[in-house]
Structures are given as C-alpha cells and as structure tokens.
Amino acid sequence: MGRKQVTLYLNEAVYERLKELLAPKPVSPEVEKKMVEMIEEIEGEEYKPAETTADYKELEREQVKLAKRLQSLEKMLGYPREDSEYNRIRRITRQCGFDEDTLEFTPEIIKCMFDTYEGPPDSVHLYINLMEVVKEKREVENQLTEIRMKGLGKNADSDLQN
C-alpha cells in the first residue's frame, strides 16, 4: 500500500491508551487493519488497496534482500555439499515431521530436531532461520508474481493505479 499522511481527529485518551496497549508496535498499521476490516464488513467482500509503484519497488528490494540472506545462511550450513550440516538437518527435520510445503515449525518438531541432531545447536537455529527466510521469500515472490501477472510491474516510473 502506498503511504500518505492523513489526519484523523480522535479522542486523545483513546489514542494514548491504544498506543500504550500496542507498544512497541506503532498505532497506524493496526488502525489501518481495523479500517480495512470495517470496509470489508460494510462491502461484504475482501478489500485490497491498490498497489503502487512504491509497493512494487519495495517488494523487489525485499525479494533481493531475502535472496541474499538465504544464500548467506545456506553457505554457513555448507549447502550444497551432500555432507553439509544443511542436508543432515534437513533429513532430520523430515524425520521429525516437518512439512516443506507449509514450512511450519511446531514445538514438537523443534524439540525433535534438537534431540536428534548431534551437531552444534547453533546449526539447528541457523536452519530454522533459513526456513523462515524461505517462507518469507515465498510470500514476497507470490505478491510480486500477482502484481506482475496483472501487468502492474511494467512501468516503475508512475503509479500503477491512481
């Protein structure tokens, strides 16, 4: 979503209480979520604000950043060598029931990984970090694909939608 400063007049006590309750998160994104929910409730359908060039460019930057982080973590775990810690931990995670499609780590899977892996625990942490980056990268790439399939990423010099 493109960001634009807007002014809302609110009861100061309400705003301050919400700010206190949400700390350390900022108030604006949470208020925006509630506003989107209100729009969806009123319209009776999903509301998705129009993407802008700024959003598209931000997704591009995020995808590159995540790809670099992924390469770094893979390198730290010795990927792509067959005897790498990456491959040893990957085999263990599969045995522990890890689903590589959903990339969801349950407490049971994490406990199983630490109990089973005979190498240093920091390698297990690195592998979990790597899988979390893979998941985040997939989400960003799905958003980029959706924008590009609509033909919205072609012209990065002007707003995609007004």
Look up residue 152 and give its amino acid.
L
Question: Quick one: pLDDT at residue 161?
Answer: 43
Q: How far is CA 2 from CA 17, 55, 148, in A?
A: 27, 6, 17
Q: How far is CA 68 from CA 62, 80, 121, in A?
A: 10, 15, 23
Query: Which residues lie below 8 Å from residue 113, measured CB to CB, with a gap of 6+?
Result: 89, 92, 93, 96, 98, 124, 127, 128
- Inter-residue contact 63 to 94 (CB < 8 Å): no
Question: Quick one: pLDDT at residue 3?
Answer: 60
Split the chain (162 residues) into runs of 10 and give each run's mean pLDDT: 72 90 84 89 84 80 96 96 96 96 94 96 97 94 86 52 40
Question: Quick one: pLDDT at residue 108?
Answer: 96
- Inter-residue contact 63 to 151 (CB < 8 Å): no
With a threshold of 0.85, does the pTM exceed it? no
CA distance 156 to 49: 18
